[in-house]
Amino acid sequence: MQTGLKIFLACLLAAIALAGCGKNKPDSKKSFIQIGEFAVRHMADGLVQVRDGAGRTLVLVPRNAPAPAGYRPCQIVRVPVKRVVAYGFFDISTLRALGVLKDTLVGVTHPADKWYIPEVRQGMEAGQIAYLGDASSIDFEKLKQVRPELVLTWDYSAIAMLEELEIPCAITSTPVAMCLNARMRFVQFLAPFFGREKQAEAFFNRVARALEDIRDRTAGSKYHPRVMWGDIYEKRVLVEPGNAWVGELVGLAQSNYLFKDVYGTSCIEIALERFLYSGKEADIMFTYRTPATGATSKAALVRINPLLADVRPLKEGKVYAPLPHYVQSGDRLDEILTEIAAILHPDVYPGFKRRFFTELPDTDPQPAGKAACVPGAKTNGGKS
């Protein structure tokens, strides 16, 4: 068995075990927690040592305690953190899950009109949260002016500049996609920065209960849909690998993920031929595109890229697109997992109302007030 597949199966079994943990709740003060590529170690004197997604070591030090020896200033984070800059939607939704977003967030990398999280929009309107420029071209002078005590970022290239400014940062992305276990436990990585271990435990338990319900509901299902998650772009074909939480959830919900043998980072690039080969077998396709970026119908997707016409769900299956607020809703992970399960197995979720995904119609609906052209219909030559 390939190493990647072994890791995938091990992570999936861990997710299933966690979903059925029942009363065996995780200890919020456990001395050591491994969360995918991340780690948290509680030490003596109230210190907490963490390893971020880049394998870097940070030490969390209570505000009134002396700085420990052996660490550079950029490795020391005073906790609880009171001012944080965050690059990604995922990090900010995690802050919301911990209940600290409104009181701690001071800088973001998306303008106000791109936000669906009320606390962020209101904070930007009130001048409490600054737009620091696009993530690829951060205004570091402005970042310095907002006086963050911590920067959460996926951008490895920002490390050197932040170290020069002596601003601690934690890398929250990893070279390998988060498995289901890591995705639901990531909140436990950020919790010690803000003294919110109890809130992290509550979030974890809520998601675990949702997974247990999904497993129980779908256990006896005789329908095992074949699922693909990705899209064809102008120069690349991107999919979610089998080791990502998406692929594992599909398997947990008694469905067949067609890229389960693909291993690597989220949104991994694969060959066009492989995508089209799997596409001929699929029953359900999830696209990355939202209605705002062109996913308004199956026909619209084919117009964007004619090669998609050969993908079975666009002809006789179902295609689902994420709604724009989906990527900012990580604090509602339990609801997202349940909705995906309901899409895969509508028979065991009768009357389910979707909030994060939309099913694409075959063609774009006609604009209101505009009659469709019907061949052979009589007209009055434009006379009223």
- So what's the pLDDT on residue 333? 98
Span 62-82, average pLDDT = 95
Query: 368 falls in which pLDDT band (50, 70, 90)?
Result: low
As a whole number of angstroms, the distance between CA 31 and CA 126 comes to: 40
Task: Please say whether the beta carbons of 29 and 197 come within 8 A.
Answer: yes
pLDDT digits (tens, 9 = 90+) for 202-220: 999 999 999 999 999 999 8
Span 357-375, average pLDDT = 72
- Count CA atoms closer than 13 A to 76's CA, side-chain side: 14
- So what's the pLDDT on residue 15? 47
- Beta carbons within 8 Å of 48's beta carbon, 6+ residues apart: 40, 41, 42, 59, 60, 79, 192
Number of other residues whose CB lies within 10 A of the CB of residue 224: 15
Query: One-letter amino acid identity for 326?
Result: Y
Span 50-63, average pLDDT = 97
pLDDT digits (tens, 9 = 90+) for 188-202: 999 999 999 999 999
| Max Cα distance, the chain (Å) | 89
Domains, in order of start, for the chain? 24-194 (3.40.50.1980), 221-359 (3.40.50.1980)
Query: Residue 29 corresponds to which tokens in the numbers above?
Result: 């003060």
- So what's the pLDDT on residue 262? 98
Span 332-360, average pLDDT = 97
Does this model's pTM top 0.85? My answer is yes
As a whole number of angstroms, the distance between CA 194 and CA 377 comes to: 68
Query: One-letter amino acid identity for 366?
Result: Q
Span 221-227, average pLDDT = 95
DSSP lists the bridge partners of residue 51 as: 39, 57
pLDDT at 172 over 50: yes
As a whole number of angstroms, the distance between CA 83 and CA 146 comes to: 8
- So what's the pLDDT on residue 29? 56
pLDDT digits (tens, 9 = 90+) for 246-288: 999 999 999 999 999 999 999 999 999 999 999 999 999 999 9
As a whole number of angstroms, the distance between CA 28 and CA 195 comes to: 10
pLDDT at 28 over 90: no
Span 124-137, average pLDDT = 96
- So what's the pLDDT on residue 12? 47
Mean pLDDT, all residues of the chain = 90
- So what's the pLDDT on residue 171? 98
pLDDT digits (tens, 9 = 90+) for 304-333: 999 999 999 999 999 999 999 999 999 999
pLDDT at 373 over 90: no
More confident residue, 33 or 8: 33
Query: 134 falls in which pLDDT band (50, 70, 90)?
Result: very high
